[in-house]
Amino acid sequence: MTLSSPRKSVCFCLLLLFGFAVAPEPGAQAQDWVRTGTNLGVSKIRIAAADFKATTADTQTAGMKSAFDQTLYNDLRYAGIFDVVSKSMIPNTTPGTPQEMQVAQWSAEPSNAAMVAFGNLGVNGGRVNVQGFLFDTHSTTNPQVLGKQYGDTATVEAARQIAHRFADEIIQTLGGIPGIAETKIYFVSNRSGSKEIWVMDYDGMNPRQLTHLGTISLSPRVSPDNSKVAFSSLGKNGWSIRMFSLDLNRLVAFPAWGGTTLSPAWSSDGNHLAFSSARSGDPEIYVTDPSGQGERRLTAFRGPDVSPVWNPKTNGQIAWVSGRTRLPQIYIMDADGANITRMTDGGYATSPSWSPNGQFLTFAWNRSYGPGAPGGEDVYIMDIASKRWTQLTHDSGANDFPSWSPDSRHIVFQRQQGGHTEIWMMLADGTDQQQLTHGDGSNTQPDWSWK
Amino acid sequence: MHYSNRKTLVVAASLAAILTVAGCHKKHPAPPPPPAPPPAAATPTATITANPTSINPGDQAVLTWQTTDATNVSIVGLGTVASSGTQSVRPTQTTSYHLVAQGDGGSADATATVTVNTAAPAPTAPSESNIDENAFEQNVKPIFYDYDSYDVRSDAQSTIQADASFLNQHPNLKVVVGGYCDDRGSTEYNLALGENRANAAKQALVTAGVSPDRLRTVSYGKEKQFCTEQNEACWQQNRRAQFTLDQ
């Protein structure tokens, strides 16, 4: 993966927030509400990741160790809660076991690490075995925080997945909530020649094509239990919701409604789907159970109503996009269609995603949209209770379809620049932007898995 | 814009189609037998047409007639009428309107037939099998929309009327109404907007007398573009409702 942008300093971040947040309170506090709400608020723990020690000496081990080391290092960097010691500043040793670890070397300048991850990796009888440890460098008597052991079939891919699991253990232990290193990103790619549904690891590795429909498939949304992907697809009779079973690795039945039916969204308990359908002749928001039965219509207003998303904390509210006043705006209503509240105050606002903690929306917004207007399409975050918002992307192409990570710390989105659309991720305060796909067709509409 | 390239073919095909339809009118310019004595009086002439020539029960057709050198003009069933004029009719079954013009120089007559489709329409009207995609698109033209709007513009009304007229003349054709958007803005919203555009065009055709059973809407949003340059002329080309044969 290309590390496209260096991490921006806290100062720069502060400046951006001060400059762009329309908040009744000063900018410094605006930064507080973003960082606290996205679990990014506490000061970052300085952590070092030692290169793991190879316990077998052959080229297969070397390849797996290299993938493991790189993956673990990146996972810790992307986590958003660590200040990861650069590889050039760590001690020139490779401790493979607790006996070989001398924490004083790691707590000293220049690495200055509070925590150090280390261990060993070897291949035996076609299996890769990994021992991973996390030590607190300031504890001389009982420094071990974690000790884990992993085994799997000896492949580079397995070594990467073990690194993700070890990274998530560290992140859970030190960050208090589950990490995202084992999560997936579902997306649309036309690299096969038509727009199909794909899935990749959260770091952009390991892409895999799910559908082979040869038409246009859009808007993948994975179910909370990772068993199914709902999406919309163009058939002879227009757009309908289709359902792909990840367990069976094939399409499963879902009723086809007449009229343009698209943009499915799962409730976080997996018990409901919301989507847009024009079966009445006008696009409206409907809710059904996961098999497409028991329909309820929620909206009844002329004009486009599309892109619903549930409040995953309560499943009691739905945010969606409506063109009832002409240009699309973000609205929120109760899950029975009552209490409609408009959230955005103008421009062209689309593609909402609701943070797992229920506190924020992220969405795409072009605040000065209009014929000939030079506005940019950027990703924004809004605190729902106060409607205060902050712009997360700036002057970098057209950005759309932000989707929250399950830890509320990250956002994945699509960015169109120079005719190419690629998938990027960033921390939920707009820093640490990383490009995940690289020039293989057009890659759009990312959807972050729930776990 | 690819569709402009095949204009010549399309014009030829559509002319053929129109002539086939027009040929049904069975005009009887009736060259009267040379009247014997009075040398001065001219022989009357008479023409009558119906538009459309084929309607659904309850719909109306307009008769248009012209005569010359007649002193007494009548249409059988409607009685005496002006020497030329138009009148709308709502026959409940297939009716021939027989125009008779009598004058000092003799008489002339002409007939126009309005076919009323029965509930189970005749399997094919002979002329329709000749209508291919090109001829169809040449006769049933797209309409265009304002930016981020799905209102049928006033300048699209004449297109809708012409489209509806053609469709009413070819009652067995089924139509896909495709809604399209320019490639700015967001994918999902544009699909919903395209659906609204397709539906607005469908409603305009229904208002103009086309049965809704013949019209099916599909939104293409910004997924299919007619023109790919980034300028207003191109965007305008892409904001449309396009009519295609539903095959």
Q: Which residue of B has its CA nearest to A402?
A: B186
- pLDDT at A131 (0 to 100): 98
Express each pLDDT in A337-351 by its tens digit. Answer: 999 999 999 999 999
Q: pLDDT-based confidence at A1, cuts 50/70/90?
A: very low
How far does the CA of residue B151 sit from the closest CA of chain A (Å)? 10
Average pLDDT, chain A: 91
Q: Is the pLDDT assigned to residue A292 strictly greater than 90?
A: yes
User: Can you tell me the distance from the alpha carbon of A166 to that of B82, in angstroms, rounded to the nearest whole number?
Assistant: 96
- pLDDT at B22 (0 to 100): 42
Selected residue with higher pLDDT from B73 and A42: B73
Q: Is the pLDDT assigned to residue B174 strictly greater than 50?
A: yes
Q: Which residues of B10-42 are buried (b: 16+ CB within 10 A; e: fewer)?
A: beebbeebeeebeebbebeebeeeeeeeeeeee
Q: Is B160 helix (H, G, I), strand (E, B) or coil?
A: helix
CB–CB contact A371 B186 (8 Å): no
Q: Which residue of A has its CA nearest to B217?
A: A259
- pLDDT at A27 (0 to 100): 46
Report the percentage of chain B scoring pLDDT > 90: 41
Q: Is the pLDDT assigned to residue B130 strictly greater than 80?
A: no
- pLDDT at B128 (0 to 100): 57
How far does the CA of residue B117 sit from the closest CA of chain A (Å)? 27
CB–CB contact B187 A239 (8 Å): no
Selected residue with higher pLDDT from A89 and B30: A89
* Mean pLDDT in residue range A182-197: 97
* Mean pLDDT in residue range A242-268: 96
Q: Is the pLDDT assigned to residue B127 strictly greater than 60?
A: no
Report which DSSP code applies to B28: -
The residues that bridge with B131 in the sheet, in sequence order, are: none
List chain B residues with CB under 8 Å of A401: 186-187
Q: Which residue of B has its CA nearest to A370?
A: B147
- What radius of gyration, in Å, describes the C-alpha atoms of chain A? 23
Work out whether the CA dihedral B147, B153, B159, B165 comes out positive or negative.
positive
Omega prior to A110 cis, within 30 of 0? yes
Q: How many CA atoms lie within 13 A of A384 on its CB side?
A: 23
CB–CB contact B199 A282 (8 Å): yes
Q: Is A351 on the interface with B (CB under 8 A)?
A: yes
Q: Is A237 on the interface with B (CB under 8 A)?
A: yes
Cβ A121 vs Cβ A54: under 8 Å = yes
End-to-end CA distance of chain B: 24
CB–CB contact A323 B149 (8 Å): no
Short-list A61, A449, A236, A412, CA closest to B244: A236
* Mean pLDDT in residue range A40-64: 92
How far does the CA of residue B164 sit from the closest CA of chain A (Å)? 20
User: Can you tell me the distance from the alpha carbon of A114 to that of B183, in angstroms, rounded to the nearest whole number?
Assistant: 51
Q: How far is CA B206 from CA B125, B150, B161, B173, B214, in A?
A: 21, 16, 10, 14, 10
CB–CB contact B217 A216 (8 Å): no
The encoded tokens of residue A1 equal 């993966």
CB–CB contact B188 A263 (8 Å): yes
User: Can you tell me the distance from the alpha carbon of A232 to that of B29, in angstroms, rounded to the nearest whole number?
Assistant: 60
The encoded tokens of residue A387 equal 């409607």
Q: Is the pLDDT assigned to residue A383 strictly greater than 50?
A: yes
Q: Where is average pLDDT lowest: A122-126, A158-162, A351-355, B11-15?
A: B11-15
CB–CB contact A278 B187 (8 Å): no
Q: Which residue of A has its CA nearest to B222?
A: A216
Strand duo A398-404 + B215-221: pairing? unpaired
List chain A residues with CB under 8 Å of B193: 304, 323
Average pLDDT, chain B: 80
User: Can you tell me the distance from the alpha carbon of A280 to that of A299, in angstroms, rounded to the nearest whole number?
Assistant: 11
* Mean pLDDT in residue range B177-183: 96
User: Can you tell me the distance from the alpha carbon of A323 to that of A347, in angstroms, rounded to the nearest whole number?
Assistant: 11
- pLDDT at B102 (0 to 100): 83
CB–CB contact B196 A307 (8 Å): no
B195 → closest Cβ in A260, A307, A321: A260
Express each pLDDT in A405-414 by its tens digit. Answer: 999 999 999 9
Q: Is the pLDDT assigned to residue B23 strictly greater than 90?
A: no
User: Can you tell me the distance from the alpha carbon of B82 to that of B71, in angstroms, rounded to the nearest whole number?
Assistant: 10
Longest alpha-carbon distance in chain A: 72
User: Can you tell me the distance from the alpha carbon of B178 to that of A158, in angstroms, rounded to the nearest whole number?
Assistant: 48
3-state secondary structure labels for all residues of chain A:
CCCCCCCCCHHHHHHHHHHHCECCCCHHHHHHHHHHHCCCCCCCEEEEECCCEECCCCHHHHHHHHHHHHHHHHHHHHCCCEEECCHHHCCCCCCCCHHHCCHHHHHCCCCCCCEEEEEEEEEECCEEEEEEEEEECCCCCCCEEEEEEEEEECCHHHHHHHHHHHHHHHHHHHHCCCCCCCCEEEEEECCCCCEEEEEEECCCCCCEECCCCCCEEEEEEECCCCCEEEEEEEECCEEEEEEEECCCCEEECCCCCCCCEEEEEECCCCCCEEEEECCCCCCEEEEECCCCCCCEECCCCCCCEEEEEECCCCCCEEEEEECCCCCCEEEEEECCCCCCEECCCCCEEEEEEECCCCCEEEEEEECCCCCCCCCCCEEEEEECCCCEEEECCCCCCEEEEEEECCCCCEEEEEEEECCEEEEEEEECCCCCCEECCCCCCCEEEEEECCC
Q: Which pairs with CB-CB distance under 8 Å and at least 24 residues apart come from A247-251?
A: A249/A210, A251/A211
CB–CB contact B188 A239 (8 Å): no
Q: Which residue of B has its CA nearest to A366?
A: B185
A306 → closest Cβ in B188, B199, B217: B188
Measured CB to CB, residues of chain B less than 8 Å from chain A are 147-150, 185-189, 191-196, 199, 216-220, 223, 232
Q: Is the pLDDT assigned to residue A85 strictly greater than 70?
A: yes
- pLDDT at B2 (0 to 100): 47
Q: pLDDT-based confidence at A310, cuts 50/70/90?
A: very high
Q: pLDDT-based confidence at A200, cuts 50/70/90?
A: very high
- pLDDT at B82 (0 to 100): 80
List chain B residues with CB under 8 Å of A238: 216-219
Selected residue with higher pLDDT from A112 and A2: A112
Q: How many CA atoms lie within 13 A of A270 on its CB side?
A: 10
Cβ B127 vs Cβ B20: under 8 Å = yes
User: Can you tell me the distance from the alpha carbon of A343 to that of A321, in angstroms, rounded to the nearest whole number?
Assistant: 10
Q: How far is CA B98 from CA A98, A192, B29, in A?
A: 109, 65, 12
Q: Is A246 on the interface with B (CB under 8 A)?
A: no
End-to-end CA distance of chain A: 22
Q: pLDDT-based confidence at A11, cuts 50/70/90?
A: very low
User: Element (H or E) spanning B224, and its range?
Assistant: none
Q: Which residue of A has its CA nearest to B190?
A: A304
What one-character-per-residue DSSP string does B72-141 give? EEEETTTEE--SEEEEEE--SS-EEEEEEEEETTEEEEEEEEEEEPPSS--S--GGGGG--HHHHHHHS-
List chain A residues with CB under 8 Å of B219: 238-239, 260, 278
Selected residue with higher pLDDT from A33 and A351: A351
Express each pLDDT in A14-25 by its tens digit. Answer: 334 443 444 444
CB–CB contact B192 A260 (8 Å): yes
User: Can you tell me the distance from the alpha carbon of A403 to that of A202, in angstroms, rounded to the nearest whole number?
Assistant: 12
Selected residue with higher pLDDT from B232 and A331: A331
Cβ B199 vs Cβ B179: under 8 Å = yes
* Mean pLDDT in residue range A344-360: 96
Selected residue with higher pLDDT from B2 and A214: A214
How far does the CA of residue B191 sit from the closest CA of chain A (Å)? 8
How far does the CA of residue A438 sit from the closest CA of chain B (Å)? 21
Short-list B91, B92, B75, CA closest to B83: B75
Report the percentage of chain A scoring pLDDT > 90: 84
Scanning chain B, the segments in alpha helix (DSSP H) are 7-22, 133-139, 157-169, 187-207, 232-238
